[in-house]
Amino acid sequence: MILKRAVKITLLGTAVLLMALLVATGWYLGRAMPIGAGFVAKYICSAVFISHRDPIIAFKEDVVPVNPLARFVDYRIDRGQLKVQATALGLFARQAIFRDGCGCTLVVGTTEEKVRAQKIVEPDFNKSRPVRPQDQPWPEGAQGAVDGAAMGVDTNRLQKALDAAFTEPGPEKKRNTRAVVVVYHGRLIAERYAPGFDKDMPLLGWSMAKSVTNALVGILVQEGRFDPLRPAPVPEWRSPGDPRRRITLDQLLRMSSGLAFKEVYAPLFDATTMLYDSYDFAAYAAGRPLAGPPDSRWNYSSGTANIVARVVRQTVEKNYPYYYSFLYQKLFDPIGMYSAVFEPDASGTFVGSSYLFATPRDWARFGQLFLQDGVWQGQQILPEGWVKYTTTPTGGAPKGQYGAFFWLNAGQRDNPALRRWPDAPTDAYAALGFQEQMVIVIPSHHAVLVRFGATSDRSAWNTNHFIRDVLTALQGGVGALAR
């Protein structure tokens, strides 16, 4: 009798455990699979309608290695309606739609009709785009690389540096380099592209978008519409007793806001929930509580970049019926960054953390703008002193590795040798993306280096070696001295 009772209790306990496991699994799938489907829909939409890539290759090389849920997702491209629908396990669907001038948007918390009705880009956007002169050199025109040898560059070493950038370390550990561009003394001296990629293909910069958001803030500072040291105008923080209302724009730009935000790219964490399961990315991030007082710690957060992006939008749309005109008229068009496409979330705010496409040559133009201290062909695009402000290390960053939405190579204040790229000069700084996309600016060497790839195993790529090898070539092969 006692044995039978023990068996019943064991069976009942097992049944309860299995039921709890099924409930937990169902809950997890119900939360995670829409995020997995959202990633597929958004990425394939942008790859097809912006970069004009083969979706099969993009899914295999770009999506699957970073999205473990992708193998459970099917997608369908509607080229006539300019949209992509992805379905996970046949149950969880997400849709991304394309619009001229602002790329693809994941439809979450609203309808396709409402997103398409948004007035953020001027009608007939493509009909009014500038045309780049074909008979002028970069950056003014569309001509290719000039001969670096005439500038004292060891071109053989430079080609070897590019060879190394495109060489795979092994079959299981791939760099997947797509493009490299080298600019020296304001001229394009080398570029190379992987098969299937070329100079005219816009590529996703991921978190390099943060650095472009920095430039938009700088333009508004120059216009007298922003003071970085004043509290950021964020609607969610207006209540008199809300301690977040003290957070300044400067603290947001420096990732020192104190807001709780987990920059983890896996289901159910802040970064992925914001990007693939939210209507208003800034509202999601602004809704996070404080993890500590502002300026008490440094915490990398894509959420803060989207809060800043919405502040930019809400400021400029007062003067622009179609607020994307500000992005193009004040930044992209003046520096010839004609291919740039800044994609918005479903609420219509450009995703300042992650979603900016441009050709590698145009990304180099952006780097050159900062190298020239914010001046382009005599026009002061960014305010005087903005680059210095941007590249001043944030106090809480332990290796002096972060400024204002740019990564730095400054090193510790009392130990400059302890820095992100030991063989690079201390004045080097960069816009970086999570798959080793980068625009590296090195003022002491008059250089801008651009690298694009889909490096899912980040240990396969060594930025320090890349900088060292290129700078050695630029110095005629005598070796690059970090300082």
Q: What pTM, to 2 d.p., does this model score?
A: 0.93
Report the interhelical angle of 302-316 vs 208-222 (nearest 10°): 40
pLDDT number for residue 412:
84
SS3 of 69, please? coil
Residue 32 has pLDDT above 90, yes or no: no
Give all domains of the chain, ordered by start, each with its CATH number.
Answer: 2-99 (no CATH), 133-201+409-483 (3.30.450)
pLDDT number for residue 352:
98
Mean pLDDT of the chain: 92
pLDDT number for residue 310:
98
pLDDT number for residue 128:
83
- Per-residue confidence band for 105, with pLDDT thresholds at 50, 70 and 90: very high
Which stretch of 1-5, 166-170, 174-178, 466-470 has the lowest confidence by average pLDDT? 1-5
pLDDT number for residue 172:
80
Residue 364 has pLDDT above 60, yes or no: yes
pLDDT number for residue 25:
41
Q: Which is nearest to 370 in space by CA: 463, 437, 447, 292?
A: 447
Q: How many Cβ atoms are within 10 Å of 177's Cβ, its own excluded?
A: 25
pLDDT number for residue 416:
75
| CA–CA dist 444, 207 (Å, integer) | 25
SS3 of 342, please? strand
- C-alpha distances in Å from residue 352, one per residue of 212, 281, 282, 313, 348: 8, 10, 10, 10, 12
Contacts of 133 (CB under 8 A, 6+ apart): 140, 141, 142
Q: Tell me: the pLDDT tens digits for 269-306?
A: 999 999 999 999 999 999 999 999 999 999 999 999 99
Average pLDDT estimate for 165-189: 94
Report the interhelical angle of 208-222 vs 360-371 (nearest 10°): 50
Q: Which is nearest to 201 in space by CA: 51, 381, 347?
A: 51
pLDDT number for residue 6:
57
pLDDT number for residue 414:
77
Average pLDDT estimate for 304-329: 97
Average pLDDT estimate for 151-167: 97
pLDDT-above-70 percentage for the chain = 92
Q: Sign of the CA dihedral 98, 100, 102, 103?
A: positive
Residue 26 has pLDDT above 50, yes or no: no
SS3 of 113, please? helix
Q: Tell me: the pLDDT tens digits for 347-357?
A: 999 999 999 99
Q: Sign of the CA dihedral 25, 31, 37, 39?
A: negative
